[in-house]
């Protein structure tokens, strides 16, 4: 099983993620040490809450150089929720630039959809439509995962999009851009399916 570093920049469900990886058979380490991240086979970038706060915390951590070196070395990285959103170029939440690793923009859900008021945030278990990816191997058609978010990624390429969800219209639920993976949903809150996805990332990503 791979050496997995969960990035601790002060934000995210760190212990929940750690426990989920342990259930998947991995031995993760929660760390803010650049040297530990440099040695890791795989890195997980969490994120919850406000996009601006996540970006501020991440930039203040001084870990960006280490993680970009990890990506440049063609080693897998997985971003979860705001951790995925941060990978893109810009967010409407606070009108803030992202990390710019992938083309796309984070946009707020609309107030209404097809004339009906849309409840925002989008919260709960939802079905996703998947394309072939190591993340979804063995999960069957249309797996369900747990979402909680008021903003969603738009403008991603078809090639980068490996899963979509339909809530207030179809949006990107998961991405893969070379060795960079991301999920808008929370695998650590998605029961057996989420553990299976993390196991796939740990073993095959």
User: Which residues are known catalytic residues?
Assistant: 81, 186, 188
Spell out where 20-166 has E strands: 29-31, 42-45, 77-80, 90-91, 96-97, 105-108, 112-113, 116-117, 122-127, 129-130, 144-149, 151-154, 161-166
Task: Copy the structure tokens of residue 143.
Answer: 């797996």
**Alpha-carbon torsion (16, 121, 130, 71), positive or negative:** negative
Q: Name the residue among 24, 101, 121 with its Cα closest to residue 55.
A: 101
Structure tokens at 121: 């945030």
């Amino acid at each position: 099983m791979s050496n997995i570093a969960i990035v601790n920049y002060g934000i995210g469900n760190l212990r929940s993620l750690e426990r989920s990886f342990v259930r998947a058979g991995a031995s993760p380490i929660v760390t803010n040490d650049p040297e530990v991240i440099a040695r890791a086979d795989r890195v997980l970038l969490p994120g919850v809450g406000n996009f601006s706060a996540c970006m501020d915390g991440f930039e203040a951590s001084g870990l960006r150089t280490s993680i970009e070196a990890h990506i440049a070395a063609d080693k897998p990285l997985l971003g979860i929720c705001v951790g995925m959103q941060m990978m893109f170029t810009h967010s409407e939440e606070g009108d803030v630039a992202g990390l710019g690793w992938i083309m796309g923009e984070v946009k707020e859900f609309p107030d209404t959809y097809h004339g009906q008021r849309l409840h925002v945030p989008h919260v709960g278990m939802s079905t996703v439509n998947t394309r072939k990816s190591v993340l979804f191997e063995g999960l069957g058609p249309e797996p369900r995962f747990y979402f909680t978010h008021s903003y969603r990624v738009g403008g991603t390429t078809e090639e980068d999009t490996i899963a979509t969800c339909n809530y207030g219209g179809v949006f990107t639920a998961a991405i893969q851009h070379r060795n960079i993976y991301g999920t808008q949903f929370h695998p650590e809150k998605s029961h057996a399916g989420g553990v299976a996805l993390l196991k796939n990332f740990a073993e095959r990503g």
